[in-house]
Amino acid sequence: DQQVKQNSPSLSVQEGRISILNCDYTNSMFDYFLWYKKYPAEGPTFLISISSIKDKNEDGRFTVFLNKSAKHLSLHIVPSQPGDSAVYFCAASGPQGGSEKLVFGKGTKLTVNP
Amino acid sequence: IAGITQAPTSQILAAGRRMTLRCTQDMRHNAMYWYRQDLGLGLRLIHYSNTAGTTGKGEVPDGYSVSRANTDDFPLTLASAVPSQTSVYFCASRGDKGFGYTFGSGTRLTVV
C-alpha cells in the first residue's frame, strides 16, 4: 500500500512557465514533508520542506503548499528553467514504529523545454 | 569533503555471487539507510540503522543484509545475487536535528 503517491510519472513545461508537481499521502501521522531533486547519475538532493503546522513554505523560485485536510502537497517552480529538468521525489516523515524514516513517492520526471 | 561515499560506482556481477556495497559517512550522523531505485518504483527502503549496533528491515529487505559496527560505515551485502537485484543503490544518512537525508551518489549494480 503506497503511503506517498505521485500520480504523474512525467511533466513537460516551457521555460519561464510554472511547473506544478503534485503529491498525495494516506498516513495522517505524517507531520513533515520534503521534496528531493535528482539528476541522472547523482544521488537525490534536498530541495524544500514543510512542517504540518504550516500550509506554505517558499524558497526562491520554489514553493511548497500543504493541504492537510486533503492530504495533498504540491511543489511550484516559478519561473521554470531548463536546469530544473530532473526527477522530483516527494517524501513524508512521521512516527513509524518508533523511528523516523522517510517514505518516498515514485517520482515525477520534469522536463523544462527551452 | 563532508558527505557520503559509496563504492563501487558501478558493478556487473554474475548471478549467485556475493557482493558488498560500501557506504561511509563523515558527518557523524546516527541514522543511515539503504534504498534501491528502480524505474517506475521510486526509492524503496531496504534496511536502516538508527544508531551504531542496531539495524532494521525496510520495505524490501529480502536477499540483503547490513551491519553497523560503527557510526561511519554501513555496508550492504547481497549474499547470492539474482537478476532482480539489478538496480541503483543509494545510501543515505540523517543527523539528529531535522528530517532531511543526505544521499550518496549511488552504486549501479547489474546482475547477469
What percentage of chain B has pLDDT greater than the value 70?
Answer: 96
Asked whether residue B99 carries a pLDDT value surpassing 80, the answer given is no
Which three cell numbers, joined as nine digits, stand for A44?
537525490
Give me the pLDDT at residue A95, please: 64
Cβ distance A101 to B58 less than 8 Å, yes or no, reads yes
**A24 pLDDT above the threshold of 90:** yes
Q: Determine the residue of chain B that is closest to A46 in CA distance.
A: B100
Top mean-pLDDT range of A31-35, B18-22, B40-44:
B18-22
Least CA distance to B95: which residue of chain A? Answer: A100
Is B43–A89 a contact, with Cβ atoms under 8 angstroms apart? yes
Cβ-contact B6, B104 below 8 angstroms: yes
Mean pLDDT (whole number) for B17-30 = 96
Which chain A residues are closer than 8 Å to B31 by Cβ? 99-100
Average pLDDT estimate for B89-107? 88
Map grid coordinates 520554489 to a residue. A62
Q: Are A102 and B101 a contacting pair at CB < 8 A? A: yes
Q: For residue B1, what pLDDT band results from cuts at 50, 70 and 90?
A: low
Give the mean pLDDT of B70-93.
97
Residue A94, pLDDT score:
77
List the single range of A66-70, B36-40, B61-65, B80-84 with lowest mean pLDDT. B36-40
Residue A98 has pLDDT above 80, yes or no: no
CA distances from B19 to B36, B62, B109 (A): 15, 15, 10
Please name the residue that has the C-alpha cell 514543510: A50
Closest C-alpha to B33, from B106, B86, B97: B106
Residue B86 CA, distance from chain mean position: 14
Residue A40 grid cell: 541522472
Select the residue of A42, A43, A105 nearest B42 (Cβ to Cβ). A105
- State mean pLDDT over A49-62: 94
The answer to whether A11 touches A90, Cβ cutoff 8 Å, is no
Predicted local distance difference test score (pLDDT) of residue B98 = 67
pLDDT for A91 equals 94
Q: What is the pLDDT of residue B95?
A: 79
Residues of chain B contacting A107 with CB distance shorter than 8 Å: 42-43
Contact (CB<8Å) B105/A107: no
Measure B109 CA to nearest chain A CA, in Å: 13
**pLDDT beyond 90 at A18:** yes
When CB atoms are compared, the residue of A41, A101, A105 closest to B45 is A101
Binned at pLDDT 50, 70 and 90, residue A76 comes out as very high
pLDDT, residue B19, reads 97
Interface of chain A against chain B, CB under 8 Å? 6, 9, 32, 34, 36, 41-46, 49, 89, 93, 99-107
Q: What is the pLDDT of residues B50-61, one digit of tens each?
A: 999 999 999 999
